[in-house]
Amino acid sequence: MARVTVVPEQFTMVLFDAGEIAALVAKVADDIGLSGDLPIRIEVDEAHPLGRTRVTLDPVTISVESGAFENAKRPRHLSERSVTGVTGRLLLRVRDRLDPAFGDPPSDGELTLQQHTVWDAYSLGRLARLGYPSQRHRRRYHFRIRHGFTDMADATFDRLWDAERLTWADLEAACAATAAARGDAPAGDKRSRSYSRS
């Protein structure tokens, strides 16, 4: 079982339980095949109810605003689905980065918005096949916003969602294909912020 630390250990502004978060994240990490020896730190900013997230390596740290883990129908309460969806997507990105066969992607802060969304589609499709709840239609719409409302964008999204073993070069090729369908140069000039919305 993965070793997960949650900060803070006691929440005062939201009705979250650090032990529950740790257990959920440990299960996701095990399900996606991350080493049980890999320490994972979850930092929750309970003072900000938005949903921005960030992941860094060495050590693996997922930083979230409390809204990312919140139940939309019960404000300030934890949502198991949100915790597993957010951390699963980000931990799959960690797993990819730790795999030499995946390639050498830029740091998260250097990813374009288009690169973020292709990686998210690839990650969330894998998570769905492990039995975690998915929002494929919502994610397809989000993908279209970044990659165009074209047949090529839809076909690219489906390939990413259904794929099991892609490389960074494959994700870059997906960005190039949707850019060509939009009539754009390959996306590369709009950098994402250091935090990204879940």
> What are the tokens at 19?
């032990």
The CA-atom distances, in angstroms, between 90 and each of 40, 75, 115, 119, 189 are 11, 23, 14, 10, 23
d(C-alpha 93, C-alpha 35), whole Å: 14
The domain ranges of the chain are 3-98, 107-192
| pLDDT score, position 49 | 86
The alpha helices in 33-167, defined as continuous H runs, are: 80-98, 113-129, 136-147, 151-162
| pLDDT score, position 185 | 52
* Spatial contact of 29 and 37, defined as CB atoms under 8 Å apart: no
| pLDDT score, position 194 | 38
| pLDDT score, position 198 | 47
d(C-alpha 174, C-alpha 96), whole Å: 17
For the chain, give percent helix, strand, coil, nearest 5. Answer: 50, 20, 30
Residue 104 CA, chain-centre distance (Å), reads 18
Torsion of CA 190, 162, 97, 119, to 10 degrees: 10
> What are the tokens at 192?
């994402």
Let me know how many helices (H) and strands (E) the chain has, helices first.
6, 7
Residue with tokens 């850019």: 179
* Spatial contact of 34 and 92, defined as CB atoms under 8 Å apart: no
The CA-atom distances, in angstroms, between 33 and each of 38, 51, 71, 88, 122 are 11, 26, 27, 11, 16
| pLDDT score, position 186 | 47
pLDDT tens across the length of the chain (198 residues): 789 999 999 999 999 999 999 999 999 999 999 977 899 999 999 998 899 999 999 899 999 999 999 998 998 999 999 999 999 999 999 999 999 999 999 988 899 999 999 999 999 999 999 999 888 999 999 999 999 999 999 999 999 999 999 999 999 999 999 999 998 754 444 444 334 444
